[in-house]
């Protein structure tokens, strides 16, 4: 009885799977290391560890900078995601449905925050806020109400909206590209108004793109550091800034524990989102 021979196709499949597995391990290795480090018992990380403990997770909740930073990051991310979707979805509809002068430059402008470095974007927005505050001080109506722009929560949310809009436009436009316009035309011919056709026909089709845009916009806003450093007000810290400030004075597994909680938060959001809307349809 002869032994089975391996053809080139089988060897090629094994080699491909081996390379893919190696790349996957290489990508997940930092994540595994951070999770492992969060359970070290000693304050100064060293190998091999002296033991394992959960005390660093309790340290997070006893530090007000982490809790206040988490709350502020959630407020900014949720607010920026909602406003970004309200602006990005109509913009995507206009770009995908209509042909007008300046359509391509407008599309590139809406996607520009994805390619502009965060430090450059933060500096430019801060200068804009300063000029806007000076202009507001010269207007009698605004001056009477003592409106503060620099370092305010509203200004920070407005800046983070710029991070959400590109994801909204890009993902919703991709969803609209696969929509058959004849379905909408059939709804209109049967007596539906344009608004009814949008909510009953178009919106269910592009819903995966909207949900994916909300998820990615939230993640980008929640974890933003470079731009937020220039715009956060005195006495306020987002979670990424709180982590950076903590690392200036101490290096212990607390930061790893914070990172694990962030990973769990984002992972849970993605699992719940994929439960209702399959992200693989648009991502």
pLDDT digits 0-9 by tens, 13-51: 888 888 888 888 888 888 888 888 888 877 776 677 777
What three-state secondary structure class fits 40? strand
Is residue 215 packed enough to be buried (19+ CB in 10 Å), middle (13-18) or exposed (0-12)?
buried
pLDDT band of 5, cuts 50, 70, 90: low
Average pLDDT, the chain: 81
Q: How far is CA 144 from the centre of its chain?
A: 37
CATH class of 53-281: mainly alpha
Q: What is the signed CA dihedral for 149, 154, 155, 156, rounded to 10 degrees?
A: 140
Cβ neighbours of residue 122 closer than 8 Å, sequence gap 6 or more: 159, 226, 227, 228, 229, 230, 231
Contact 111, 169 (CB under 8 A): yes
At residue 82, does pLDDT exceed 90?
Answer: yes
pTM: predicted TM-score of the whole model, two decimal places:
0.81
What φ, ψ does residue 88 adopt, rounded to 5°?
A: -75, -35
pLDDT digits 0-9 by tens, 159-175: 999 999 988 888 888 88
Specify the pLDDT at position 146. Answer: 66
At residue 201, does pLDDT exceed 70?
Answer: yes
The rounded distance, in Å, linking the Cα atoms of 28 and 129 is 40
- Beta strands in 62-129, from DSSP E residues, in sequence order: none
The whole-number average pLDDT for the span 176-188 is: 75
Residue extents of the structural domains in the chain: 53-281
Long-range contacts of 239-244 (CB under 8 A, 24+ apart): 239/66, 239/69, 239/70, 239/72, 239/73, 240/69, 240/73, 241/69, 242/65, 242/66, 242/68, 242/69, 243/69
The whole-number average pLDDT for the span 272-280 is: 67
Specify the pLDDT at position 145. Answer: 66
């Amino acid at each position: 009885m002869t032994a089975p021979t391996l053809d080139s196709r089988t060897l090629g499949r094994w080699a491909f799977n081996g390379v893919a597995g190696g790349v996957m391990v290489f990508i997940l290795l930092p994540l595994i290391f951070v999770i492992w480090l969060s359970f070290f018992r000693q304050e100064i990380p060293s190998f091999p560890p002296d033991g394992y403990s959960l005390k660093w997770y309790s340290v997070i909740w006893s530090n007000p900078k982490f809790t206040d930073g988490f709350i502020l990051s959630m407020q900014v991310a949720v607010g920026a995601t909602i406003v970004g979707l309200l602006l990005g979805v109509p913009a995507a509809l206009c770009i995908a449905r209509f042909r007008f002068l300046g359509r391509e430059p407008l599309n590139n402008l809406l996607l520009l925050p994805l390619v502009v470095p965060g430090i450059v974007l933060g500096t430019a927005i801060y200068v804009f806020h300063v000029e806007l505050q000076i202009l507001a001080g010269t207007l009698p109506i605004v001056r009477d109400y003592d409106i503060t722009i620099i370092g305010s929560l509203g200004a920070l949310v407005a800046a983070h909206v710029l991070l959400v809009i590109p994801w909204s436009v890009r993902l919703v436009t991709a969803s609209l590209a696969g929509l058959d316009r004849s379905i909408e035309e059939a709804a209109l011919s049967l007596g539906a108004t344009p608004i009814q056709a949008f909510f009953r026909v178009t919106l269910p089709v592009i819903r995966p793109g909207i949900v994916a845009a909300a998820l990615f916009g939230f993640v980008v806003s929640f974890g933003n550091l470079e731009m937020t450093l220039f715009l956060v007000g005195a006495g306020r810290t987002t979670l990424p800034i709180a982590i950076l400030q903590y690392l200036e004075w101490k290096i212990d597994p607390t930061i790893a524990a914070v990172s694990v909680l962030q990973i769990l938060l984002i992972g849970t959001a993605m699992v719940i989102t994929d439960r209702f809307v399959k992200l693989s349809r648009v991502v």
